[in-house]
Structure 1
Amino acid sequence: MSTGKLTIDLAALADNWRALDSLSRCETAAVIKANGYGLGSAQVAKTLAQAGARHFFVAIAEEGAAVRQALGQGPRISVFSGHMPGDRDLIAAHDLTPMLNSIDQMLHHVEALPGHRFGIQLDSGMNRLGMEAAEWAALRDIALSQDPTLIMSHLACADEPDHDMNARQLRNFVEMTDGIDVPRSLSATGGILLGRDFHFDLTRPGVGLYGGMPFAEARPVVTLDLPVIQIRDIEAGEAVGYGNTWIAQRPSRIATIAAGYADGLLRAMGPKAQLFAGSSRCPVVGRVSMDLITADVTDLPQDPDTLSIMGPAQTVDDIAEAAGTIGYEILTSLGGRYQREYHS
């Protein structure tokens, strides 16, 4: 194969959901937006449904339609972006639940789909999506008379347990929803780990399902093996890759691997990233280019046919740290050229 092999461990995915579910006494949903964090929303949704998830969250209605086709009727599929113009037919045909974010969305939804199920998203301090306190106060009685199925908000700093924003948003959310007889949800993966005060009636784990931080106990879900196209010998003083940014300090053996930033392996990771032959490290040398990465394999006892960049020896968060980003970006950037192989 001339493309990398992305192996997805569905059993680990299910185990991660069960582990996060065990940390609360409430319902545990699953966030499978962005094509199941880049791993395939149909396969991810079916696996998590078999594990016990009955409520799924996506970012946009089109994602919800794809998940409904994979799951069939039964599980609830909620849409974070709410009811956008042009979404009416998708929401109705695929029985999606928009999480309404504003008065305008509320009016549009009840006019376009009277009686159709919806939820409400409140802004407890993140200033991104949801109704602010004054907006919610003006609409609250009218909205509650329409029987919303869920009221939710989202934490800005849940991956930093000691950040005072967590307590502030919890307090704001309680003040906005206290006394309401509607299920409530505040926490994704990080919020689950903050403890039961943050759990309410439903949690919505996302990145922790896929092996990412801040869920340190997660089982790794993704392995990425890359084929070696060519290996060459270079002398001390010779350069490798664009810009001559890496110059050999000794006679070296350099492997060129079939992957690059077009495949979600970010250019910024180059100076700090490693590839692996088993447990042996092979540092990336030179710049990551669109389709190719070069690595120093001088110290290997034999030439490799493939090198691993993601797996037991190097997690998605290790790669993210090398690139100065987060595991979410690495996962959701994994390109379409990989051969995807699912293990259950």
Structure 2
Amino acid sequence: MKTIAMEHAAAVLTIDLGAIVANWKLLSDRVAPSRCGAVVKADAYGLGAVPVVRALLQAGCREFFVALVDEGVRLRESLKQEWPLDARVHVLHGPLPGAEAACLEHGLVPVLNSRDQIERWQTLARRHGTSLPAAIQGDTGMTRLGLPLLEFTRLFETKDRLAGIRPTLVISHLVSAEDPGDPINQLQLQRFHSLRTLFPSTVFGCLANSSGIFLGGAFHFDLARPGAALYGVAPTTGQPNPMRPVVRVQARLIQWHDIDEGEAVGYNHTWHAVRPTRIATVSIGYADGYLRSASNRALLRFDGMALPLVGRVSMDTVTVDVTKIASDRLVPGTLFDVIDEIQDVNVLAQQAGTNAYEILTSLGARYHRHYLGHT
């Protein structure tokens, strides 16, 4: 399918693969000598799993995590000709009933979260007359996925509870790692230690997510699995962000006009001019993942100048107060920065009253996507 050239696209999403690799290397250095994987679920947080994984493979990453079997199948199929023998894709949700064969066929390693998933994986192993690799997840406090602690311990009361399964990881998920002062972190660490001791040393322990890496070496175990930090999201609340920005979002001016004091803008007239005002209409909206909650709160940037978004975010457009910009500079097609190095995804998330994860994964399919670095 033909797509319009970048210079004519209404909105442009630029993704810096070099910055993603640099972020992965920074995190790898931080957890060394432990290994560092990469969470690439939700199409690498909306940025494109295939180019992101390709770049990380070339940088040396070998452990990847997706949420769904379908995500893992698409990834392995897309990179079939270049997939290293020592690289693995773990499926965090495990297989839903009937998806076990697809896991095996495509070389995916399920994260088994329940007795039901364990038993179905054992059934497949018996059918094939072999033991099959899998990660085992214990719930240390999230109450979301994984075996409760007592049920996890009972797996090891008899020798055949994991018959047919070759464990690759014992895994759990931190509740509040972005807040180092939350006591739940230490409680989960203690609980995870009790799970880890049930497995031989050849089975990797995997607890730290992006924020967990910054809780210190005690949380690193054998393998860390950063996700959001790879894509520029700040890993620790209230601290300087050590990660390089990864995305830039730009949208084009459609038209502008001058309005008088007292005139209103946008749906339901939630904003009224308190002075004569120049209003620009810019081609981005909630259909592009620019959240409606940013209405009357966010900023766009033009040639370095911060400009307030006024009125409601519409499906396809926003309106911006550009009174500070001379009219001869407001040429239709001119690009405004929505996310850039100064107003990054973390800043926009604060303006929109959400987190940076939602901003990234909401970025829609209408952008012209431009990758910096090899794809």
Whether TM exceeds 0.5 here: the answer is yes
- Aligned CA distance change for structure 1 residues 201 and 143 (closer, same or farther; 3 Å): farther
- CA RMSD after TM alignment: 1.3
Within a 5 Å distance, the mapping from 1:31-70 to structure 2 comes to: 31-70=39-78
Which residue number in structure 1 is paired with residue 13 of structure 2?
A: 6
Are the equivalent residues in 1 in contact too, given 2:13–2:249 (CA < 8 A)? yes
Q: What is the alpha-carbon distance in structure 2 between the residues aligned to residue 231 and residue 89 of structure 1?
A: 57
CA distance in 1, matches of 2:196, 2:151: 13
Q: Give the SS at the match of 1:98.
A: strand
Match of 1:129 among 128, 134, 145: 145
> Residue type matched to 1:277 in 2?
F
CA 1:183–1:38: 2 relative to 1, 3 Å: same
Task: Judge conservation of contact 2:142–2:175 (CA < 8 Å) in 1.
Answer: yes
Report how many aligned residue pairs link the two structures: 344
Q: CA deviation at 1:278?
A: 2.3
Pairing partner for 2:88 from 76, 83, 105? 76
Q: Name the residue aligned to 2:154.
A: 138
Equivalences for 1:153-172 in 2 at 5 Å? 153-172=172-191
Displacement, 1:313?
1.8
User: 2:26 aligns to what?
Assistant: 19
Q: Which of 274, 280, 293 is the equivalent residue of 1:268?
A: 293
1:81-131 C-alpha deviation (Å, 9 max, x unpaired)? 112112123212210000000111100111024422111111011101000
TM-score by length of 1: 0.97
Write the letter of the residue equivalent to 1:58. V
Distance 1:143 1:207, change over 3 A: farther
In 2, are the aligned partners of 1:88 and 1:113 still within 8 Å (CA)? no
| CA contact 1:2–1:258 (8 Å) conserved in 2 | no
When residues 183 and 144 of structure 1 are mapped into structure 2, their CA distance, relative to the original with a 3 A threshold, is farther
Structure 2, unmatched stretches of 5+, are: 1-7
Quick check: 1:184 aligned with 2:191?
Answer: no
SS state at 1:308 partner: strand
CA shift for structure 1 position 2:
4.4
Give the whole-Å Cα distance in 2 for the aligned partners of 1:313 and 1:14: 21
Identity of aligned residues (%): 43
| Structure 1 counterpart of 2:351 | 322
- Structure 2 residue identity aligned to 1:161: P
Matched, 1:235 2:251: no
1:42 deviation in Å?
0.3
Q: TM-score, normalised by structure 2?
A: 0.89
Partners of 2:311 and 2:102 lie apart in 1 by 47
Separation (CA, whole Å) in 2 of partners of 1:10 and 1:208: 13
Which runs of no fewer than 5 residues in structure 1 stay unpaired?
Answer: none
Correspondence for 1:95 among 104, 107, 114: 107
- Residue 298 of structure 1 and its aligned partner are, at CA, apart by 0.9
Offset from partner CA, 1:189-225 (integer Å, 9 cap, x none)? 0000001000000000000000001161111000000
Asked whether the equivalents of residues 10 and 252 of structure 2 are also in contact (C-alpha less than 8 Å), the reply is: yes
Deviation of 1:258 after TM superposition, in Å, equals 1.0
Corresponding residue SS for 1:283: strand
Q: Which amino acid aligns with 2:213?
A: I
Q: Distance in 1 between matches of 2:29 and 2:161?
A: 33
Structure 1 residue identity aligned to 2:330: D
Asked if the contact 1:4–1:258 (Cα under 8 Å) also holds between the matched residues in 2, the reply is yes
Following the alignment from structure 1 to structure 2, what is the Cα–Cα distance between the partners of residues 142 and 170? 28
The Cα offsets for residues 292-312 of structure 1, whole Å up to 9 and x where unpaired, read as 111011102321511111011
Residue in 1 that maps onto 2:4 = none
Stretch deviating more after TM superposition (297-306 or 45-54)? 297-306
Given that 1:276 and 1:313 are in contact with CA atoms closer than 8 Å, whether structure 2 keeps it comes out as no
How big is the shift at 1:179?
4.9
